[in-house]
Structure formats: C-alpha cells, structure tokens
A and B are shown apart, each in its own frame.
Chain A
Amino acid sequence: MDTSVFKEFTTNINTVDKLNELLTDASEAETTSFASSAKHLSASIKGKVSKKFEEIIRNLEARNELPKSPEDRSKFFEGLKEYLQKLPRISLELAFNPTEKFVNKISNFLKEGSDSTPILDIQVKPNILAGTTIEKDGVFKDYSYTTRLDQILKQKYSQRTNENV
C-alpha cells in the first residue's frame, strides 16, 4: 500500500497523545465506513472525530484519494493505523511541564535531517533536575542533571571526607 497519503494525517502529529487521538479517529472512521452507506464519509464522521481529521478526509474525498467502497475504506484506515503505530518514537523525560510551543521546537529539531517526524512520548519527572533522558529503540541515555549532580556531589563529598580523615 502506498503510504505517502498517510503522511498527510501525521502533519503536526508529534506526541503520543496526539497520535492516540488520531488512532481513535482512524478506528472511528474504519467502523463508520462499514456502518454508513453515505457517499461522503466526511459527512458520516462529522462530530465523531476531530475537525482536523474530518478536514483531511474531506480533502482526500475531494481528490478522490479515499476508496469509495466500505471494504476498501476499511482497509485504508486499517493501513493508516498500522502506519501510525510503526512511526518512530522517542521517549523523553523532562523536569518541567513543556509548552506545546517547546514540544514543537523539540519535534522540529528532531525532524531536521530526518525523513520522518518521531513521535514524542514526554513524561514529566522533576527529580531529573534539568536536561532530559532519552529512550529510542530500547536504548536509554541519561542527559539529565541529576546524574551529573550526583557525580559532582560524590566527588566533592569524598574529597571532603578524605580531607577529614
């Protein structure tokens, strides 16, 4: 299946929360595809999905890029869900609650020089002090300041302890 059409759905989808909303919309559209005999799916899903999703469907219908039969539409959305679930993900831990603007900044930074936009799974962990931890493809790296602070404290503390001995 040509997945290029799916990229339109992922525009501005850069977090797990947004991805989950999109997956929910895709599931709703898939279900509606069977239940509705309406010519335009966008009309059937109106109010049931996000405006953004409805708008994308409407645009696909206008360009005749959305299958017309319920079965084919169902397969289309099934393919969309598979595509979304396979998007690269990066888990980040931040010490503060980031604004959407800052999340977008991170997303854009990660997108630079890359073919796809990674989906950010951001957890707020004040105990990391500052910086971030990153987990990608099962590999974890700590770029937070808590480890650095512990290292500095241990160094300073052991120095002082040794001086006192």
Chain B
Amino acid sequence: MFQIVLISSLIINVITLIILFAFYQSQKRVLDVSPFIRNIHKLRGMTAKKEEKILREAVEKSKSTVDATLTELEGVESLSEEAKHDLQKQTQELVQQIISKDSEVFQNIIKDITEAYKIELQNLNNLQKEEYSKLFSSSKALLEIEIANLSQEVARISTEGKAKVEAELSAYKQKVKTDLDQRVFSVLSDVAKETIGQSIDINKHEELVMKALQKAKNERFI
C-alpha cells in the first residue's frame, strides 16, 4: 500500500514538473519583450537628443542675445554704471525668458514622450495580460485535465491495490484463524483424551468395550 502511494506521488511530481517546464517554456516565448525594450530605448535616445538640442538652442539664443547687446554696448562706452547694470539686468531677464520659453517647449516634448512611453507600456502591459491570460487558461485547463486524469489513475491504482491488499489480508486472516482453530482443537482434544482416559477405571473400560461389541453385533457386523 505504501509503495503504491509512493509510486503515485512520484508520478504526480514528475508530471507536475513536466507541465511546469512546458508552462515556463511557453511563458518565456510569449514574454519576449525585447522589441518593446528596443522601442523604449529608441524613445529615450530621441528624447535625449531633443533635450540636448533644445538646451543648446536656448543657450545659443541667450548667448547671441547677450553678444548682440554687448556689441551694441561697445558703441556706447560712456554709458553710466547704472545704465550698464540695467542693461545686464535686462539681458538676464531676456535670457531667463528665452530659457523659460524653451523650457516650456521642452516640457511639452517630455510630456509627449512620456505619453508615448505610457502608451507603449500600456500596450505591452495589455499584451502581457492577454498572453498571460491565454497562457494561464490553456495551462490551467491542461493542468486540470492532467490532474484529473492523474487523480483518476491514482484512484484506480489505489482501489485496485486496496482490493488486492484486502483480499490478501482476508485470506491470510482466514488461514491464521484456521491454523489457530486447528491448534486449539488439537490441544483441547489431547488434554480431553488424557484427562478422560485417566479418569476411566478398568471396569468402566470393560463395560464400554462390551457396549461397543453389542452395538457391532446389533449391526450384524460381528
């Protein structure tokens, strides 16, 4: 019985491992997201380039603005310190405005990129969910069938084994009972014979012999 359970358990484990390995293989194929990863990297590359371009343009614009201003200032060497201070202040504000404006553009681009990321990731996520769902359904169904078959097989083996063991046990019990009965009867018979034999005196013996002979004569045997 123990061997049957052990063998059944081993069979279940082996089948489960095979199913899990198959599940793992199909999952590996479906979850190959390298194209999406490549897209993301591409987007990141594009973003970095755009970001670099915007900043470079912003810096270039502010630089050219300041340069143009200073060029203009070279013509007015007699400009007071206060006027220079105002001019620098205006220049800074102008640069700041340009950077802010460029920054706003940059933010919009980043936002677009982020949206693109989101869509890509969402697509990926949906695809994964869908594939997972399909895979899970098919695997689950397969597993359920396999487990059901296995359960039936184990139940059949178990029932057969149980019936066989019960039959053998019953036969063995009957044999033991018969042997025991025979031994008990034999001992009982021996003890009874010894006891009764010793308790019969010679007169009784002779009487019993004559009774037996009379019976034989009545039966016309002698």
Q: Which residues of A contact B (CB under 8 A)?
A: 90, 94-96, 98, 102, 105-106, 109-110, 118, 126-127, 129-132, 134, 136, 139, 141, 143-146, 149-150, 153-154, 157, 161
Contacts and interface: CB of A to CB of B under 8 A. Distances in A.
B163 interface: no
Nearest to B207: A130
Nearest to A139: B221
B221 A134 contact: yes
Contacts of A132: 209, 212-213
Contacts of A110: 213, 222
Given A105-B206, A118-B222, A136-B221, 11 more contacts: A98-B209, A102-B209, A106-B210, A129-B200, A130-B200, A132-B213, A141-B221, A143-B212, A143-B213, A149-B193, A153-B188
21 contacts: A98-B206, A105-B206, A106-B209, A110-B213, A129-B197, A129-B200, A130-B204, A130-B205, A130-B208, A131-B212, A132-B212, A134-B212, A136-B221, A141-B219, A143-B213, A146-B193, A149-B193, A150-B189, A153-B185, A153-B189, A157-B184
A126 B197 contact: yes
A94 B181 contact: no
Contacts of B202: 96
B196 interface: yes
Contacts, number: 77
A87 B219 CA distance: 22
Nearest to A142: B212
B197 A95 contact: yes
Contacts of B206: 98, 102, 105
Given A96-B202, A153-B188, A145 B208 contact: yes
A84 B184 CA distance: 49
B197 A157 contact: no
Contacts of A149: 189, 192-193, 196
B150 to A, nearest CB: 41
Given A95-B205, A96-B202, A143 B188 contact: no
Contacts of A95: 197, 200, 205
Q: 9 shortest A-B CB distances, which residue pairs?
A: A143-B212, A131-B212, A130-B208, A132-B212, A96-B205, A132-B209, A131-B208, A129-B193, A129-B197
Contacts of B185: 153-154, 157
Contact of B197 (A109, A130, A150, A161): A130
